[in-house]
């Protein structure tokens, strides 16, 4: 049996996000590979890879990140809610994907799917590189650890304060068109 070495319980510097964080990304939730919920029981809301061109220039490195997400749910007549999230960007080495994907697991139980809804992300830190695994269970275990690490990391006041970042509440056409660097 292969046992993964114990992992740190928090990620990111104690005194708050350091460059290039916080990164701001957004996009509509699209269909992914259909594996997250069914195979891993960890649903991931995918957004188009074009959402990665932040401010039109920087490319994000592949890996696992933590941060905050907000959703422009149709039924939300109050301020959009902000949720903790963990995100994977890359090629999913365990599945040898042919396309690079951006997938976000929101740490919240939703009663329904939210395909098509705009999601805004404030990426606050890096957790680890994307890895290959000996088994699906090993991948699931590591993602569960990412969730714990993400939650623990976000508890710190230097990260928690981003819950009120205006970016998470600025839903609307203009912002989205700009963020994605493409005309919709
Ligand atoms: P896909 O391969 O299409 O991305 P998944 O099996 O990964 O499908 O499931 C993702 C979908 O599940 C999301 O697009 C969203 O509509 C829904 N969903 C429900 N709960 C969550 C959650 N906590 N985090 C992310 N997506 C969720
Ligand atoms: N896939 C990998 O192949 N290797 C990884 O290290 C990996 N880490 C992930 C970490 C998180 C927090 C999440 C949400 C997903 C991760 N995935 C990883 C992606 C996973 O394989 C993918 O979500 C499913 O295949 C569904 O598309
Ligand atoms: Mg998914």
Tokens 């301020």 belong to residue: 79
pLDDT tens digits for 119-141?
999 999 999 999 999 999 999 99
CATH code for 23-170?
2.40.30.30
pLDDT tens digits for 150-176?
999 999 999 999 999 999 999 875 434
The residue ranges of the chain whose pLDDT is under 70 are 1-3, 51-58, 76-77, 173-184
Tell me if 29 sits within 8 A of 116, measured CB to CB.
yes
Instruction: Give domain limits for the chain.
Output: 23-170
Residue 92 CA to ligand 2 center (angstroms) comes to 6
- pLDDT value at position 182? 46
- pLDDT value at position 174? 41
Q: What is the DSSP string of 141-170?
A: HHHHHHHHHHHHHHTSHHHHGGGG-GGGG-
Cβ of 28 below 6 Å from ligand 1: no
Closest atom of ligand 2 to 97 CA is 3
Tell how strand 63-71 and strand 45-47 pair up.
unpaired
DSSP code at position 88 = E
Rounded distance between C-alpha atoms, residue 28 and residue 41, angstroms: 22
Closest atom of ligand 2 to 94 CA is 3
Helix (H) or strand (E) holding 103: strand 101-106
- pLDDT value at position 162? 98
Cβ of 84 below 6 Å from ligand 1: no
Return all residues near 75 (Cβ < 8 A) that are at least 6 apart.
none
Cβ of 32 below 6 Å from ligand 2: yes
- pLDDT value at position 46? 96
């Amino acid at each position: 049996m292969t046992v993964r070495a114990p992992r740190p319980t928090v990620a990111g510097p104690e005194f708050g996000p350091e460059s290039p964080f916080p990164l701001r990304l957004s996009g509509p939730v699209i269909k992914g590979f259909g594996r997250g919920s069914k195979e891993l029981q960890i649903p991931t809301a995918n957004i188009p890879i074009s959402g990665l061109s932040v401010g039109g220039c920087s490319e994000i490195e592949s890996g696992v990140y933590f941060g905050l997400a907000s959703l422009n749910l149709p039924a939300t007549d109050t301020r959009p809610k902000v949720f903790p999230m963990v995100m994977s960007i890359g090629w999913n080495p365990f599945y040898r994907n042919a396309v690079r994907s951006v997938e976000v697991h929101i740490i919240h139980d939703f009663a329904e799917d939210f395909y098509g809804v705009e999601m805004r992300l404030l990426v606050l830190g890096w957790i680890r590189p994307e890895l290959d695994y000996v088994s699906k269970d090993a991948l699931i275990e590591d993602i569960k650890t990412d969730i714990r690490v993400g939650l623990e990391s976000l508890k710190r006041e230097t990260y928690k304060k981003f819950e009120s970042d205006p970016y998470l509440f600025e839903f609307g056409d203009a912002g989205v068109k700009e963020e994605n660097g493409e005309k919709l």
